[in-house]
Structure 1
Amino acid sequence: MGKAICFVLLLSFHIILSLFVVEICGNEQVRALHNLRRSKLRGGSEIDRSEFKVEEFVHDEDAIIVHPQEGLKEKDKIERLPGQPQVKFSQYGSYVTIDKVAGNAFYYYFVEAPQRSKQSLPLLLWLNGGPGCSSFAYGGLQEVGPFRVNSDGKTLYKNNYSWNNDANLLFLESPVGVGFSYSNRSSDYSTYGDKRTAEDNYLFLVNWLERFPEYKGREFYICGESYAGHYIPQLANTILEFNKKAGKTIINLKGILIGNAVLDDEADSKGTYDFLASHAIISDKAAYELKQKSCDIATVNRTSECVAAFIEYEKDTSSIDSYNIYAPVCKSTNLTAHPKKTSPVIDPCSESYVEAYVNRGDVQEALHANVTKLKYDWKPCSNVITKWVDTSSTVLPLITQFLNNSLRVWIFSGDIDGVVPVTSTKYSIDKLKLPIQTGWHPWFAYGEVGGYTEIYKGNLTFATVRGGAHQVPSNQPARALSLIKHFLKGTPLPETKTAP
């Protein structure tokens, strides 16, 4: 009996240690989400996992402070980024003050649609997750923005599948400590979580709309991926609650679109283990053990079988890019003297090119960024946020609320993501217990199957993207573009090869 207890203790020590030292392949986003999950796994974790509620913030009369914005839009205009090709649209970038007392400011990058259509197209906010990852780094420069960074780290090339042909694109680095966003109050870097991020994102929006008043009343959509599965519903909920309190439309929110989204802890965990086992990455035995109650995320006294399964899980996934289980991993982060041949599919080392480019002095000057001369380099994911204080265990009640308020909700899933896989998303949607309106069927893009879709009563569409990784627009840009076009129009995804 004594030997058995000793064995469990040794294994427990091994797994706890391995959770913090194993090297995870892939980009910084996977590390950020992995670190949050590790924090939850720790015994005695102080992370608040209660349901997200915004009522106190909404009913605080002093919560919303709109700072003067006159003349700032013109100052924010970016004439040209270093190494940028010629374009026919306007772009802006700078800071929006959230809290003057704390010296708290969020950095944004905004790309309008081409001149001929910018006045008629909607406003779309793109959010990445982490938590703690930059929407400018990923959404802006690797996914849906107009440019991508060449392998020389000095020049840009056009993204032919940019979403700014269908919407005016706004990228936000949030919360403070992410990218160029900062606070002069050091305690802020350890007091953020879901709730405060939602509040500050709302404060950013109402101030930004004062700076760009032509977008007040414009149809507004929030899109993003990964841990933005929390950010997006929580911000949407905050918007709806303030509209309700005011008795008018302050922000004209029409819908949300989330990809490979962290929605529900239980469904996410079960779905991940089932996906990895069904794709021959972990064993069926390990998947079975990891799904047992003794392996629950809140359980401190785990069994030896559970601990062994965790060790196997870490070992089997540590040498692949779990965000794209079939992709090559980055072999070298070195820049090249001359740009490599470009491709619509993102280079696995692109994150390094982006980091090198954005840390150039001339680039930061053009972006109107880093004006306070931060003491640390710009990173795709923050290494200065020291603590995440709250993360609700599920956002599904918010999704139900949106459907009851006739908000358009689309959830999509790249089907080769092993971190927040399609199985997790399906399990989450199953929990909503919605009647099916249009049964499961393939959808088409450019004459091929783009994925599969199902529509539920209440205005919820679920779609897979065939061959899509965690960052679907990075490795399936054409299919992602087709998806956003139909989402913004509110039309079903095409059921035939010949449909547009």
Structure 2
Amino acid sequence: MGSQRSSTASFASIYLLLLLFTKISAGFFRDDQALDRISALPGQPPVSFEQFSGYVTVNKEHGRALFYWLTEAKVDAAKKPLLLWLNGGPGCSSVAYGASEEIGPFRITRNGSSLYHNKYSWNKEANILFLESPAGVGFSYANTSSDLKTSGDGRTAQDAIVFLIGWFSRFPQYKYRDFYISGESYAGHYVPQLAKKIVECNKASSKPFINLKGVLVGNAVTDNYYDNIGTVSYWWTHAMISDRSYRSILASCNFAAAKTSRRCDHAVDYVMNHEFGDIDQYSIYTPSCAASNSTAAAAALPLRLKNTLIRRRSYGYDPCIENYAEKYYNRPDVQKAMHANTTGIPYKWTACSDTLIKEWQDSQFSMLPTYKELIRAGLRIWVFSGDTDSVVPVTATRFSVGRLRLNVKIPWYPWYAGRQVGGWSEVYEGLTFASVRGAGHEVPLFQPRRALRLFQSFLAGKPLPKS
């Protein structure tokens, strides 16, 4: 009975989205593309590509609007595909991380005064659309304050597809362009969940609703059970915890349970407070920022999900780099140039929202059933993992991928970027896995050349090079 109600609700949702899409195609919404054009950002070096940014309202009743930043391809933008990039958290900004630290065209100087070119920007290969999602992240907002305490997977995916409908209306030249979705960390939920919604809408439409071709996710939260097992295994195999603590965690924690126990929490708290030391858990072999306070960092290790063991800081790879972004995007002249904060948001722009992280309501226990649906839909699916991340480590991803029990097409092999091994890969029927050697949680930040090579292979639909 419950399943039938769910199916009916899903059909109604798809019908309303298609109706909205039809109205958009008929010119129901005003074209604001010209108003969103960025002439130049403060302190920006000269560029050959166009930029746009602004808001798309996703729920008029609640006043929810999502902020985007489009950096078009450097060459032949009209012929290049469109990539949507989502950062995770849940509650962290794609402008702060994806755009400013990873795959975007610019990096921010230490004092937040100017920008400089990213040599390995992914807009060499595609038009990149960064989305701050859900409402409450970065410049995205909700006029209904309670929305910030009731966010979850379901609403995030629904708002994201409504955003895309509105955005494609504003940018009709992209409407039927080859489209890909990528992201990292908790975007391991956002990306496949949004892809599933698009697939469902495409099935209900006479022609492709959105021309989705594939998904690419890195160091992705995938399955609570295997993520937890894989994370504790990584800690032990990389000498981060003692044999005694390893045995204690395995004995104390029921990884299949919806909630953790006090005994489990105590075992994990012990290793974090007494055995990890002052390291960057997102990149265990690189120095941590001298400007950060280890005590404060330890205090900022909340459970990001109520039903997982994994603890995560509210920060990205380098707190110092994150500080540069917070200096830059809080500048009034930058916000004016980006058409951001037009409603006067009553708080500073931050890389992550503590409220969203702490109040997250619904989280899918496992994304593996969703991946199976996307594989059946024929999408190109790549999963990659930086191998020095201890937060969502490569062991967790491999356990999850293994659970899919896919047939191997190309057995495990080293892949190359230049003359160096870039990582290791295995190609399955319906999915490609790749590790990235020497990369932490934000793969394109630590290994930009290798990450760009991986992205090029993904777009080409070809295995990573063996030599």
Same fold (TM over 0.5): yes
Aligned partner of 2:459 in structure 1 is: 488
- Residue identity in the other structure for 2:189: H
Question: Does residue 168 of structure 2 align to residue 214 of structure 1?
Answer: no
Q: Which residue of 1 aligns with 2:129?
A: 170
Pick aligned residue for 1:449 from 402, 421, 428: 421
Deviation at 1:101, TM superposition (A): 1.9
Deviations 1:59-95 (A, max 9, x none): 2344564675433100000000000000000000000
Deviation at 1:100, TM superposition (A): 1.6
Report if the CA contact (8 A) 2:280-2:288 is conserved.
yes
1:410-440 deviation line (CA, Å, top 9, x unaligned): 0000000000000000000111011111111
Structure showing greater Rg = 1
Picking from 223, 226, 231, the partner of 1:272 is 231
Mapping of residues 86-485 of structure 1, within 5 Å? 86-114=46-74, 116-292=75-251, 294-296=253-255, 298=257, 302=261, 306=264, 309-315=267-273, 316-317=275-276, 319-332=278-291, 349-385=320-356, 387-458=359-430, 460-485=431-456
State whether structure 2 residue 19 is matched by structure 1 residue 59: no
Structure 2 residue identity aligned to 1:113: A
Give the distance between the partners of 1:462 and 1:74, measured in 2 at CA. 40
Deviation at 1:302, TM superposition (A): 4.8
Q: Is the 8 A contact 2:73 2:126 kept in 1?
A: yes
The Cα of 1:325 is off from its aligned counterpart by 0.5
The question of whether the paired residues in 1 share the 8 Å contact of 2:228 and 2:255 is answered with no
Partner of 2:307: none
Contact 1:178 1:381 (8 Å CA) reproduced? yes
Q: CA deviation at 1:318?
A: 5.9
Alignment gaps of 5+ in structure 2 = 294-316
Q: After superposition, what is the alpha-carbon deviation per residue over 1:134-187, rounded to whole angstroms, capped at 9, x for unaligned?
A: 111100111000001000111101000000010000000011110011111122
User: 1-side partners of 2:354 and 2:328: how far apart?
Assistant: 19
Is contact 1:328–1:348 with CA below 8 Å preserved after alignment? no
Aligned partners of 2:69 and 2:129 also within 8 Å: yes
After TM superposition, give the deviation of residue 308 of structure 1 in Å: 5.1
Quick one: distance in 2 between partners of 1:190 and 1:174? 14
Alpha-carbon RMSD across the aligned residues, in angstroms, is 2.1
Please tell me whether the aligned partners of residues 54 and 195 of structure 1 are also in contact (alpha carbons under 8 angstroms): no
CA contact (8 A) 2:292 2:319 kept: no
Contact 1:282 1:312 in 2 (8 A): no
CA contact (8 A) 1:222 1:232 kept: yes
- Name the CA distance, whole Å, in 2 between partners of 1:427 and 1:411: 12
Gap change, CA 1:333 and 1:55, over 3 Å in 2: farther
Structure with larger RCO (C-alpha < 8 A, sep 6+): 1
Paired letter, 1:478 = R
User: What secondary structure does 2:396 align onto?
Assistant: helix
The whole-number CA distance in structure 1 between the counterparts of 2:186 and 2:151 is 14
Per-residue deviation at 1:392?
A: 0.8
The superposition leaves residues 377-408 of structure 1 with CA deviations (integer Å, 9 ceiling, x where unpaired) of: 00000134362110011000111111111110
- In structure 1, distance between residues paired with 2:52 and 2:188: 26
**CA spacing shift, 1:356–1:405, aligned 2, 3 Å:** same
Q: Report the Cα offset of residue 291 of structure 1.
A: 2.6
The 8 Å contact of residues 193 and 388 in structure 1, kept in 2 or not, is answered as: yes
Q: Are 1:81 and 2:49 counterparts?
A: no
- 1:300 CA displacement: 6.9
Counterparts in 2 of 1:301 and 1:352: CA distance versus 1, 3 Å: closer
SS at match of 1:461: strand
Measured at CA, do residues 253 and 174 of structure 1 come closer, stay the same or move farther in structure 2, by a change above 3 Å?
Answer: same
**In 1: Cα distance, 2:194 partner to 2:148 partner:** 20
Kept in 2, the 8 Å contact 1:220–1:255? The answer is yes
1:200-242 CA distance string (max 9 Å, x none)? 0000001100000000110000011000000000000000001
Secondary structure at the counterpart of residue 291 of structure 1: helix
Q: 1:105 to 1:289 in 2, by over 3 A?
A: same
Distance in 1 (CA, whole Å) between partners of 2:7 and 2:81 is 26
Task: Return closer, same or farther for 1:169/1:294 CA change in 2, 3 Å cut-off.
Answer: closer
User: One-letter code of the match for 1:298?
Assistant: A
Q: Contact between 2:384 and 2:436, CA under 8 Å: does it hold in 1?
A: yes
Q: Structure 1 pair 397/307, CA: closer, same or farther in 2 (3 Å)?
A: closer
1:423 maps to a residue whose letter is T
Residues 282-328 of structure 1: CA deviation (Å, up to 9, x unaligned)? 11232233234644363779585x45532332223362111001111
Structure 2 contact 252–267 (Cα < 8 Å) conserved: no
Opposite residue 314 of structure 1, the aligned amino acid is M
In percent, how many aligned pairs have the same letter?
Answer: 48
The answer to whether the 8 Å contact 1:289/1:295 transfers is no
In the alignment, is the contact (CA less than 8 A) between 1:355 and 1:379 conserved in 2? yes
- AA of the residue aligned to 2:12: H
CA contact (8 A) 1:58 1:238 kept: no
Partners of 2:406 and 2:291 in 1: CA distance: 47
Q: Name the TM-score, length of structure 2 as normaliser.
A: 0.88
Alignment partner, residue 28 of structure 1: none
